[in-house]
Structures are given as C-alpha cells and as structure tokens.
C-alpha cells in the first residue's frame, strides 16, 4: 500500500523519487523514476532533518512541518511523518513545488496509516 501511495508522487511532472525513511536513515519504502541513490538520500535526509529540528528547538520556533532545499537542478522536499519516520521527495528543476506540497498534505494521513 505504501509503495502505491508513493507512486502517486511520481505521476507529478518533474518528481523523480519519493522515499520514506526512518529517523535512523534507513529506507522503509521508495519509488524512483531516475538515477537516485535512495539509501544515501535516506541517510542524508535523516541527518538534515535532525539538524533543522535542533535549530528550531534552539530558536524556540516550534515543530518543523517541511523543509525545502532549493538546488540548481531541482528541489528536495523533506517532511516529518512521525517521531520515527520522514519523507523525502526529489524533483527536477521547474517543478511545481506548490503541487508537491499540496499532494503531501493531502496524502500525509494515508502515508502514516500505511506505515
């Protein structure tokens, strides 16, 4: 079920990977439509999320909802799903980031239920 839900992200123009990983960095499930090292992505996403959450705690800004990393060749969107899992969505340049964010918000509960 989780793989099917993640596959829906690949139907969005420009999305090349959707990965659910544990906070330990190990990949739980992934779908890929390109050349993405999902194991490395899971590990780095976990580290980046942890660092960003620590910064949020230090600054007293509350819980993190999403993290958008804008890169030359396309964005990576990271979002916590629970205390133990996160999702990373990788896309090409010129992707509609708002659409990815909308689909993630719409499907968050389904993803969590499938875990």
- For 48-61, the pLDDT digits (tens) are 999 999 999 999 99
pLDDT of the residue at 34: 79
**Does pLDDT of 101 surpass 90?**
yes
What are the φ and ψ backbone dihedral angles of 111, each rounded to 5 degrees? Answer: -65, -50
pLDDT of the residue at 52: 92
pLDDT of the residue at 22: 97
Report how far apart the first and last C-alpha atoms of the chain are (Å, whole number): 9
CA atoms of 70 and 110, how far apart (whole Å): 26
Nearest to 81 by CA among 57, 55, 107, 56: 107
Number of folded domains in the chain? 1
SS3 at position 71: coil
pLDDT of the residue at 87: 98
Query: 83: domain CATH number?
Result: 3.30.450.30
Q: What range does the domain containing 46 cover?
A: 1-113
SS3 at position 86: strand
């Amino acid at each position: 079920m989780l793989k099917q839900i993640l596959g829906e992200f690949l139907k969005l123009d420009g999305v090349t990977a959707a990965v659910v990983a544990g906070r330990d960095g190990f990949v739980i499930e992934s779908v890929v439509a390109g050349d993405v090292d999902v194991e490395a992505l899971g590990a780095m996403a976990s580290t980046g999320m942890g660092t960003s959450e620590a910064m949020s705690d230090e600054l007293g800004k509350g819980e993190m909802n999403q993290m958008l990393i804008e890169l030359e060749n396309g964005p990576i969107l990271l979002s916590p799903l629970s205390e133990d899992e996160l999702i990373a969505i990788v896309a090409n340049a010129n992707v509609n980031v708002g659409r990815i964010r909308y689909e993630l918000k719409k499907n968050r509960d389904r993803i969590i239920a499938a875990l």
